[in-house]
């Protein structure tokens, strides 16, 4: 298995090695998402008792919450070999056939970003998921011949940040659908403590909680910030990451007390300064910020909505009174140039 496919592509080689070490391998090691874990535990146990592979599982939720990690855990708990792929990697149906026929015995197949599967490839997946068979067409036009190919048992593990972009037909073929949500600070703090152990750094309870509170409810962010705070602590000769050390590191990184970073503040500031607080379309914001729409929709907006700093309406994005408060700005009622537009 190519482990690098599992991880954040922006990591440096040494960090990549550490990231692999940070990934929990069993459901017991995976912190939080209790309902999801509880369900998976039951379904895995039942399937194993019957000597069958698990039904197909779809994981969805914002980036960095553990979809890929959970897919690995499911395969591990089922004692199945896991083959990794991602939606955009399939150019044609032959590649899908190749992936599904690679192994003779039961296996698990992971397709990341499954919402980006090409529609033709996706249609091949339907009978494969439902009846474990795939139709192969040889030759074209009047000479075309169709063959049915029986597939070995497999569990398809799909992951997506965009449940809304998956067709109903595909979604309905997943017997198990798991929604992952942002983690509360207490759970993130446990993840931070566990990661600190793996990385060999000492963090106390107050430091872990501070880091957790400022990690946008996201384990990937928590692990990344932990690595950076460790760097600051090392340079400052602090051996224990306590609250003050964490605060120092995060403040220098530009992470505020809610976990907002530079891009979040630029995003919100843009809506306020140039669009009178909104509503404004996301395309417009992406162009002004020089970012991809996908980055804004996947990475920036879900957390801002979660903490009540942004509203997504049919007319576009809008800030809230809380946004002005958080950024230390005066809301428009008390005298901004854009007041007239809002009234």
112 is catalytic: yes
Q: Which stretch binds ligand ATP (CB under 6 A): 16-24, 230-238, 277-285, 329-337?
A: 16-24
Q: Which stretch binds ligand ATP (CB under 6 A): 18-26, 74-82, 229-237, 313-321?
A: 18-26
Q: Could you say which residues in the range 28-47 bind ligand ATP, by CB under 6 A?
A: 30-32
Q: How far is the CB of 78 from ligand ATP (least distance, A)?
A: 17
Report how far residue 317's alpha carbon sits from residue 107's, in angstroms, rounded to the nearest whole number.
43
Token readout for 9 is: 């592509």
Residue 148, sorted as left (phi over 0), alpha (psi -120 to 50) or beta, turns out to be beta
Residue 165 phi, psi (nearest 5):
-95, 5
Report how far residue 247's alpha carbon sits from residue 24's, in angstroms, rounded to the nearest whole number.
27
**Which of ligand ATP, Mg ion, none has residue 220 at its interface (CB below 5 to 8 Å by kind)?**
ligand ATP
Q: CB neighbours (10 Å) of residue 203?
A: 27
Report how far residue 82's alpha carbon sits from residue 285's, in angstroms, rounded to the nearest whole number.
39
Q: Could you say which residues in the range 248-287 bind ligand ATP, by CB under 6 A?
A: none
**122 near ligand ATP (CB under 6 A):** no
**302 near ligand ATP (CB under 6 A):** no
- CA 252 vs. chain centroid, Å, equals 26
**Which of Mg ion, ligand ATP, none has residue 32 at its interface (CB below 5 to 8 Å by kind)?**
ligand ATP
**67 near ligand ATP (CB under 6 A):** yes
Report how far residue 60's alpha carbon sits from residue 179's, in angstroms, rounded to the nearest whole number.
5
Q: Which is nearer to Mg ion, 68 or 336 (CB)?
A: 68
Report how far residue 299's alpha carbon sits from residue 162's, in angstroms, rounded to the nearest whole number.
11
220 is catalytic: yes
Task: Answer for the pair 72, 40: CB distance below 8 angstroms, yes or no.
Answer: no
The residue annotated as part of the active site, out of 7, 68, 245, 320, is 68
The residue annotated as part of the active site, out of 23, 213, 220, 317, is 220
Contact set with Mg ion (CB under 5 A):
67-68
Q: 25 to each of 191, 201, 288, how far by Cα in Å?
A: 14, 21, 42
167 is catalytic: no
Helices H / strands E in the chain, number of each: 16, 11
Closest CA to 6 of 117, 95, 110: 110
The residue annotated as part of the active site, out of 7, 69, 155, 161, is 161
Interface residue with ligand ATP among 158, 207, 217, 219 (CB under 6 A) is 219
Interaction pattern, residues 154-193, with ligand ATP; x per rule: CB under 6 A:
-----x-x-----------------------------x--
Q: 132 to each of 49, 118, 124, 135, how far by Cα in Å?
A: 21, 20, 11, 10
Q: How far is the CB of 36 from Mg ion (least distance, A)?
A: 15
Q: Which is nearer to ligand ATP, 219 or 332 (CB)?
A: 219
Q: Which stretch binds ligand ATP (CB under 6 A): 64-72, 119-127, 199-207, 245-253?
A: 64-72
Which stretches of the chain bind ligand ATP, using CB under 6 A?
19, 22-24, 30-32, 63-69, 159, 161, 191, 219-220, 223
Catalytic (active-site) positions: 67-68, 112, 161, 220
């Amino acid at each position: 298995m190519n482990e690098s496919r599992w991880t954040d592509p922006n990591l440096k080689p040494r960090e990549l090695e550490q990231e692999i070490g940070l990934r929990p391998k069993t459901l017991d090691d995976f912190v939080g998402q209790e309902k999801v874990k509880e369900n998976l535990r039951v379904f895995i146990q039942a399937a194993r008792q019957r000597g069958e592979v698990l039904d197909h599982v779809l994981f969805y939720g914002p980036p960095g919450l553990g979809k890929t990690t959970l897919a690995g855990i499911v395969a591990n708990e089922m004692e199945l070999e896991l083959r990794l792929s991602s939606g955009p990697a399939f150019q044609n149906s032959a590649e899908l056939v190749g992936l599904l026929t690679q192994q003779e015995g039961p296996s698990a197949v992971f397709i990341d970003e499954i919402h980006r599967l090409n529609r033709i490839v996706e249609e091949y997946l339907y009978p494969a998921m439902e009846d474990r068979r795939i139709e192969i067409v040889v030759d074209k036009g009047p000479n075309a011949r169709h063959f049915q190919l029986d597939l070995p048992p497999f569990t398809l593990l799909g992951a997506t940040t965009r449940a809304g972009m998956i067709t109903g037909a595909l979604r309905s073929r997943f017997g198990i659908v798991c929604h992952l949500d942002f983690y509360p600070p207490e759970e993130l703090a446990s993840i931070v403590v566990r990661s600190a152990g793996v990385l060999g750094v000492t963090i106390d309870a107050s430091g872990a909680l501070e880091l957790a509170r400022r990690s946008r409810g996201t384990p990937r962010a928590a692990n990344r910030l932990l690595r950076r705070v460790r760097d600051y602590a090392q340079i400052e000769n602090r051996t224990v990451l306590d609250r003050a050390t964490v605060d120092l590191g995060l403040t220098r990184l530009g992470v505020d007390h809610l976990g907002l970073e530079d891009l979040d503040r630029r995003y919100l500031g843009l809506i306020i300064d140039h669009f009178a607080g909104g509503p404004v379309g996301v395309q417009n914001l992406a162009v002004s910020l020089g970012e991809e729409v996908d980055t804004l929709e996947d990475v920036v907006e879900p957390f801002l909505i979660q903490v009540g700093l942004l509203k997504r309406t049919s007319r576009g994005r809008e800030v809230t009174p809380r946004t002005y408060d958080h950024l230390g700005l005066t809301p428009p009622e008390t005298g901004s140039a854009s007041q007239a537009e809002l009234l």
